[in-house]
Each structure stands twice: as C-alpha cells, then as structure tokens.
Amino acid sequence: MFEYFPGNYVWNLGVVAVLNSGGLIDEVDRAVRPLREAASRGEDAGTAELLASWTRVVDQLEASARADVQAGHHRSAGQKFFRAANYLVNAERMQSAGSPERMATYQRCLDLTEAVFDNLDFATTRVEVPYGDTSLPAYFTKAPEIDGVLRPVMIMWNGLDSTKEHMYTSGFAHELAARGISTLMVDCPGSGEALRFRGLKAQIDTEVWAAACVDFLEQRDDIDPARIGLVGWSLGGYYAPRAAAFEKRLALVVAWGANHNWGAVQRRRVEREGERPVPHYWEHVLWTWGYDDLDEFLAMADHVHLDGVVEKITVPFLVMHGENDRQIPLEYAFRSYEQAVNSPKRTLRVFTHDEGGAEHIGLDHLPYVGSFIADWVDDTFRDLAGGAS
C-alpha cells in the first residue's frame, strides 16, 4: 500500500482511498503535504488540521466548479464537484464523533454529491427507502435502459465508518451500470446520514434493513425482482451475509471483506492487536451502536458474528478478502467460505501482495477489486437468468 505518512496506517488508508476513488495526485499532494508533522503525532491527534487542509483544496475546487456552471461548462463542473466530494467525505470520516464541525462538513458532502448528479451523472438520483417510521437515505444508479428488459440490481451497504458517498465515489455503481446492473447505495443504520441526521443506530439483525431495501426495489418498474443482490464492504462483510441468511428474496450476496467475527476483532482491538479504521476509534463505535459504556458495547459485540449464520445462505455467495488485511484476519474469509455449505455457488477470492488489493477491502487497488466483484455479479445474474442479460 502507498504510505504517504510513515507509521500512520489510519491516515495512509484515507489517502489511498481518495486516490483510488478518482482523486488527482496534485490535488491530493497539496492537501496532505502540510500534514506530515501532524501525522507523526499519531492517528487521533491532528484530525482537525487534516480537515482544514483538505477543506482548502475543496474550497478551491468548488469555487472553480461554480464558475464552470456559470459559464455553461457542466461536465467540467461535475468532475470538480466529484473530486471535492471525494476529498471532503474522506476527511470528514476521520473526525471525532463530537467534532463541532462534523455535521456541517457532512452536509457539505451531501451538497457536493448532489451537484455531481445535477451537472454530470444524470443516471444517479437520491432516493429514500421507507424504514419503520422514517427512511434510509440512498443513491440509485440506473443501468442504461433497453426496451422491455428489467435490470438486475445490487443493494450496496457500507461499513462501520463509510457512507453512501464513499460507495458512490468508489465508482463501483458505474462498473455495474456498464454491465447492465443498477445499484442502490444505502446509508444503513449506524452510518452516514442515517446516523448523523436521523440518529439510527447499528443493530445485529441486519435482515430488517434488507427487507426494507427489497420492499422498496420491488415497487420499481425498472428492475427484475428475481435478481436483487446484496454487497457489503468492511463491516458490511458481516451485515450482508447475515441479511442474506434470513432475507430469502435476495438472489446473491457478496462479502467485500470477510467480517466473520467482528465481535472478536473488538476484543483484539482492546488489546491493541491489529489496525483500526478510523481515529478516535472507541468514541466512533459507541456512537455507531448507541452505547455509552465500553464493557456493555463489548458484551453486545460478542454476538456480532456469522457462526451458525452463513450455513443458512442458500444463494450464490462471494467472499473477497485481502491477503494483508491489517484490520480483519484473513482466517475469517476461509471461515465464512467453509461454513457456507448450502450456497449453490460459493466463491473465495483472496487478493495478494503481488497483484494488489491485499489491504482492507482492497483499498490499495480498489478499481481492480471492484471490477472483479462486478464481473462475478454479472456472471451470476446471467446464470440466474439462463444466460440473458
């Protein structure tokens, strides 16, 4: 993995995520070069400086984009809005839960992303997935239309600290669209807008969210209800397989990072074993899951695992993992694969050092990993349709 800040895994992961989601090296360098001394102080210290440095680049990009809009140069504007959203959402992710600037910063991320849709990406729209007495915010990227052809669709879920904006800027939805597959990118409870603005906390029984997403999609007239799949990355590698085990309307499932026993990982992190995804880690997980006490949280987290669960998956199941994932042990990928004995098509793909994609969810070579997953999804949907697109 490209490591701009020696010894600071968390900050390096953020830089790599930005670069592999369409960031430009000159803009990235202008944002991170002033942060070298701050990064040396550790993953928690200096996150306010990190936000300020990235925000300076975002301010420049947004000003230029708005000038492009005034000049009628909407494509150029949309490209700049896209990069600005990519940079800011990754800087926002690094802030503490109680940061006084966090909510305003995230709202700006939403506004920048909407500006991409308005100026560049007309295939993607904001939607709301009804959920209890509220809704889950989401983006829907529609595959190109063919008369009379209902498109398969993938539901995409994020992890502990990512958002639907991270999913969008990763480019995965457009890889699927190029293969004739639509995508619903959802801020699950405990993440993104659902957590920040609606107070929805994460929970163990993720099939409840899955049912809401499938209900929403079945009301659309442009998707094939027999070909609705689910992919989740990072903590979504627990969320998605858990959901597919119990929500039987799903046609396939992908664990983008095999988070087979997230509770055990938390116990390891208490002992400072393995890397963590974000600064201010324990503050973040308590916020996500709605706990004030670490011991109570850890007792709950002991139940966040897939033992006795993946055996209930009866649809095609892809398990993807990086050989050098420093957050989630590689052994969990083998455990999920080996226990999924009732899946009619179970696939394990481990990305190696030599090819890239070996880090957590393949962030070090994200487009490469995303293309592999998109191809597997496309092939599997075609198989389910008897070879039809």
6-44 pLDDT, tens digit per residue, is 999 999 999 999 999 999 999 999 999 999 998 899 888
Query: Of 90, 106, 122, which residue sits at a domain end?
Result: 122
CA dihedral over 322, 325, 327, 331, signed as positive or negative: positive
Q: What is the CATH number of the domain that holds 128?
A: 3.40.50.1820
Query: Of 94, 122, 150, which residue sits at a domain end?
Result: 122
| CA atoms of 115 and 82, how far apart (whole Å) | 8
Specify the residue for token string 């009804």. 130
- Residue 196 forms part of a structural domain: yes
- Residue 149 forms part of a structural domain: yes
Backbone angles phi, psi at 310, to 5 degrees: -65, -20
Gyration radius of the chain over CA positions: 20
User: 253 and 165 in one domain?
Assistant: yes
**What pTM was computed for the model?**
0.96
Which parts of the chain sit beneath pLDDT 70?
Answer: 388-389
Query: Of 96, 122, 148, which residue sits at a domain end?
Result: 122
Please list, in sequence order, all residues whose beta carbon lies within 8 angstroms of the beta carbon of residue 104, skipping any fewer than 6 positions away. Answer: none
Cα angle 112, 114, 120; round to 5:
95
User: 329 and 188 in one domain?
Assistant: yes
| CA atoms of 101 and 91, how far apart (whole Å) | 11
User: 156 and 99 in one domain?
Assistant: no
- Residue 86 forms part of a structural domain: yes
Model pLDDT, residue 230:
98
C-beta of residue 217 within 8 angstroms of C-beta of residue 178: no
User: 230 and 331 in one domain?
Assistant: yes
Please list, in sequence order, all residues whose beta carbon lies within 8 angstroms of the beta carbon of residue 371, skipping any fewer than 6 positions away. Answer: 175
User: 74 and 199 in one domain?
Assistant: no
Q: Which letter, b or e, does each residue of 65-98 get, where b requires 16 or more Cβ atoms within 10 Å of its Cβ?
A: beebbeeeeeebbbbbbbbbbbbbbbbbbbbbee
Please list, in sequence order, all residues whose beta carbon lies within 8 angstroms of the beta carbon of residue 7, skipping any fewer than 6 positions away. Answer: 40
Q: How many structural domains does the chain have?
A: 2
User: 325 and 228 in one domain?
Assistant: yes
Domain interval for residue 181 = 123-389
- Which whole-number Å values give the CA distances from 387 to 19, 84, 135, 179, in the listed order? 36, 40, 35, 14
| Structure tokens belonging to residue 360 | 């957590």
Model pLDDT, residue 1:
87
User: 87 and 133 in one domain?
Assistant: no
Model pLDDT, residue 275:
85
- Residue 141 forms part of a structural domain: yes
Percentages helix, strand, coil for the chain (3-state, rounded to 5) are: 50, 15, 35
Q: Per-residue pLDDT tens for 233-262?
A: 999 999 999 999 999 999 999 999 999 999
| Structure tokens belonging to residue 220 | 């659309």
- Residue 3 forms part of a structural domain: no
User: 132 and 96 in one domain?
Assistant: no
- Residue 20 forms part of a structural domain: yes
- Residue 2 forms part of a structural domain: no
Q: What is the CATH number of the domain that holds 89?
A: 1.20.1440
Model pLDDT, residue 389:
63
| CA atoms of 108 and 12, how far apart (whole Å) | 23
User: 254 and 160 in one domain?
Assistant: yes
- Residue 207 forms part of a structural domain: yes
| CA atoms of 337 and 322, how far apart (whole Å) | 14
User: 251 and 225 in one domain?
Assistant: yes
Model pLDDT, residue 272:
86
User: 192 and 93 in one domain?
Assistant: no
User: 214 and 179 in one domain?
Assistant: yes
